[in-house]
Amino acid sequence: MVHRTFSPFLLYIATAMVISGWWYVAFAQPMTNPAPPTPFTTRTPLHLPSPQYLSYLSPMARSDIQKALAGDVALMTKLMTEWDVDARILENYDLIGVRRLSRQGFIKAQMIGRQLERNIEEELVALRRKFCEEEVCDDEGERFVLDAPLRRYLPQTYISASFLLALTEPENIVAIPSGLRDQTELYPPSLTNRIPLDIDRYNAESIFQSKPEVAFVAHYSLPSTLQVLRSQGIPLFTLKSINTLPEIHSAITRVGHVIDRPLEAELLTLFMESAMLAIDNHVLAMGRTLSEEHGTPKVMFLNYHAQFSLPTPRTLTGQLLDRMTAHHQFAFVYSDQASSDDWTIPMEQEKLVRHDPDCLVIASSNSKALQAQIRATPSFSELSANKEEKIYFVDGNVFDSPTQYIVLAYYDLAKVLVDATSPYAR
């Protein structure tokens, strides 16, 4: 037989050489269609004289918005004032579609801000008590009677921890999920280090000894953990899935009432609303490039986890895209195969090339590395977005985050769209 004529050693060597030789020929040679190096983040803006009103608008820095969303009351009221003025300036220049917080909402926010900044702690306690609801319902329908203020809190989930870190002092929080400490860009160590304990089963006794007065849990919390908390006599406040902006506001408000911070919660929700409107106004003010004959730019937003997928309006990201579409003339590409049950639609490269968006926004947890990978993918070189240098990367951790930081996601989205389409982008 054939195989008997070869010594085993030679057979293995020959086999290994065939395989490695094939790989060498296949992978060592340069690609026949090398993708041109694409500077994804830089682009020469068109040189057009910017409208005069742009020079009067507030700078709207992301870092300021993030700091305010973390609970900086003074900054919140300052920014809301600036944005209100921005809106009036734009209205003065007869821009159509300018929106701002209602007069009542704005006044309320300013009044709350002033009370929180000026009053001493004892007066604030009395004030909060005055505005606190008598009872609040959680998502399981459990009624929480708020006859006495609760002072020590245990957030079992990232969402509730995010709310609590913005609404109250870290010293009132008994423990946080350990993974929250890794998100240093949103939750700096200077804040999280003030909370000594992590939520894990080894700390159950320490957590119990810290005597939390309420635990914020979710429907996906481990049943055994919930049972232990109940047996320790700790009331559970359940926040189920938060999938829309109104649900985020409602959750913040209810959490605020439970922890005796109704004013802070009200201010935070008003600030979120004001920020979204301000972002809309800035997008409106920056206008859009592409003269009339170019039409509405086609924008595609993709998530990346091992493969690309399109978010549907069921997700928070999809709702942000819908909002951007409703208020500004961007045409977001959605799959015609999406059903009401889909959260995301896988997007194969052929479909991506077929859609050929004018602008491509990709959300990923590692944007820098993904850029290199995309450069090596031949199909991306076919895209108009690539040829026009309009492929943008945003932080995937912020998108679909059902916390107050969803505002940052909207900011990032607006920034890339303005950069892609505005002649005045800086």
Partner 1 sequence: MGLSRKNLPFYLLFGLILLVGTCVTLTTGATPWPEVWKGVLGHFSGDSMGWNPLLDERLPRLIVLLCTGASLAVSGAILQSLFHNPLASPSVLGISCGGCLMVTMVFILEWHFHYPYAVPLAAFAGCLLTLLLVYGLSYRKGGVQIAALVLTGIAISSVLLAIQGAISYALRDRWEIIQTITEWEAGSASDRSWKHVHMQLPLTIVGLAGSWIYCKEINILALGDEEATNLGVEVAKVRWRLFLCVALLTGGAIAAMGIIAFFGLVLPHLIRKITGPDNQRLIPLTILAGSATLLALDLFLRTFGIRALTIGNISAILGGIFFLLMLFGFRRESGLMRASSC
**Residues 6+ positions from 332 with CB-CB distance below 8 Å:** 299, 300, 301, 321, 322, 324, 325
Instruction: Report the nearest approach of partner 1 to the CB of residue 160 (Å).
Output: 15
> In the chain, how many H helices and how many E strands?
16, 13
Which single residue is written with the structure tokens 């020929």?
Answer: 25
**Residues 6+ positions from 337 with CB-CB distance below 8 Å:** 345
96 vs 372, beta carbon nearer partner 1: 372
2 vs 326, beta carbon nearer partner 1: 2
15 vs 329, beta carbon nearer partner 1: 15
80 vs 360, beta carbon nearer partner 1: 360
130 vs 368, beta carbon nearer partner 1: 368
82 vs 356, beta carbon nearer partner 1: 356
Distance between CA atoms of 129 and 124, rounded to whole angstroms? 8
Give phi and psi for 170, each to the nearest 5. Answer: -60, -25
Instruction: Report the nearest approach of partner 1 to the CB of residue 402 (Å).
Output: 13
25 vs 326, beta carbon nearer partner 1: 25
DSSP state of 398: T
Strand 344-346 with 307-311, pairing:
antiparallel
Instruction: Report the nearest approach of partner 1 to the CB of residue 56 (Å).
Output: 40
Distance between CA atoms of 284 and 418, rounded to whole angstroms? 9
Instruction: Report the nearest approach of partner 1 to the CB of residue 163 (Å).
Output: 18
DSSP state of 270: H
Distance between CA atoms of 58 and 364, rounded to whole angstroms? 29
DSSP state of 50: P
Instruction: Report the nearest approach of partner 1 to the CB of residue 382 (Å).
Output: 5
Binding site for partner 1 (CB under 8 A): 1-3, 8, 15, 18-19, 22-23, 26-27, 32-33, 177-180, 182, 305-308, 337, 342, 345-346, 348-351, 353-354, 365-366, 369-370, 372-373, 376-379, 381-382, 396-397
45 vs 346, beta carbon nearer partner 1: 346
For every residue of 169-202, DSSP letters joined together read -GGGB-EE-GGGGG-TTTS-HHHHTT--EE-SGG
Give phi and psi for 66, each to the nearest 5. Answer: -65, -45
Cα–chain center distance at 137: 27
Go through 218-254 and write b for each residue having 16 or more CB atoms within 10 A of its CB, e for each that does not: beebeeebbeebeeeebbbbbbeebbebebbbebbbb
